């Protein structure tokens, strides 16, 4: 299975960030501001693994990363990359599950060939969300819950 199918899409990740979801995850979407070969912006994006460490260049990030973890050259390279790149959390299925209230579930619907995220029976007004990947089905549910101030 491709990594892109195991985390939220770039589009849904951007929406979660717009809704002020804390940007803390194992995987991150990034784009470089290098403007090399005519490429710039999100069209030149990819995924990076950080093991849950912050990579946004903030003071909190430097504390989480820990100076002892990096040589001086590593730190310079990291600071350079942070300064020239943008990052958005690419949440995993498990990370999205932790964000949502108890009772929300997702399952694969073989007949329709897609994933569905459903609310518990106690919340019948919450619509089911669907997507080709489980991460995106859960992300759509999280977005609905946030937009409607249910979490």
DSSP assignment string, 11-78: HHHHHHHHTT-----SEEEEEE---GGG--GGGGEEEEE-TT---S-SHHHHHHH-GGGS-HHHHHHH
Average pLDDT value for residue range 95-109: 94
Say if residue 71 is in the same domain as residue 128.
no
Nearest to 89 by CA among 1, 144, 12, 147: 12
Other Cβ atoms less than 10 A from the Cβ of 124: the count is 8
How high is the pLDDT of residue 85?
54
Residue 102 confidence class, pLDDT cut points 50, 70, 90: very high
Say if residue 101 is in the same domain as residue 87.
no
Say if residue 98 is in the same domain as residue 86.
no
Decide which of 73, 91, 109 is a domain's last residue: 91
- Counting Cα atoms < 13 Å in the Cβ hemisphere of 39 gives 9
Mean pLDDT value across the chain: 78
Residue 141 confidence class, pLDDT cut points 50, 70, 90: very high
Residue 72 confidence class, pLDDT cut points 50, 70, 90: low
Say if residue 86 is in the same domain as residue 112.
no
Say if residue 58 is in the same domain as residue 124.
no
Say if residue 73 is in the same domain as residue 57.
yes
How many domains are contained in the chain? 2
Say if residue 85 is in the same domain as residue 106.
no
Decide which of 45, 71, 91 is a domain's last residue: 91
Alpha-carbon dihedral sign for residues 16, 146, 5, 57: positive
Q: Give the integer Cα–Cα distance in Å for 146 and 143.
A: 5
Burial state string for 28-49 with b = 16 or more CB within 10 A and e = fewer than 16: bbbbbeeeeeeeeeeebeeeee
Say if residue 50 is in the same domain as residue 114.
no
Average pLDDT value for residue range 113-140: 94
Say if residue 68 is in the same domain as residue 30.
yes
Residues forming beta bridges with residue 46, ordered by sequence position: 30
Domain of 25, in residue numbers = 3-91
Say if residue 100 is in the same domain as residue 31.
no
Please indicate, yes or no, whether the overall pTM of this predicted structure exceeds 0.85: no
Average pLDDT value for residue range 94-106: 93
Say if residue 102 is in the same domain as residue 60.
no
- Whether the pLDDT of residue 145 is over 90: the answer is yes
- Whether the pLDDT of residue 93 is over 70: the answer is yes
Say if residue 53 is in the same domain as residue 83.
yes
């Amino acid at each position: 299975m491709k990594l892109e199918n195991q985390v939220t899409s770039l589009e849904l990740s951007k929406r979660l960030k717009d809704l002020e979801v804390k940007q803390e995850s194992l995987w991150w979407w990034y784009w470089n501001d290098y403007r090399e070969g005519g490429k710039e912006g999100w069209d030149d994006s990819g995924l990076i693994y950080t093991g849950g460490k912050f990579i946004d260049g903030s003071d909190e990030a430097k504390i989480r990363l820990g100076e002892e973890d990096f040589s001086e050259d590593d730190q310079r390279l990291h600071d350079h990359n942070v300064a020239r790149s943008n990052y958005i959390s690419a949440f995993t299925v498990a990370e999205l599950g932790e964000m949502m209230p108890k009772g929300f579930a997702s399952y694969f619907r073989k007949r329709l060939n897609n994933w569905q995220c459903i609310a518990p029976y106690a919340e019948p007004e919450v619509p089911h969300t669907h997507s080709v990947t489980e991460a995106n089905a859960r992300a759509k549910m999280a977005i609905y819950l946030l937009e409607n101030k249910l979490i």
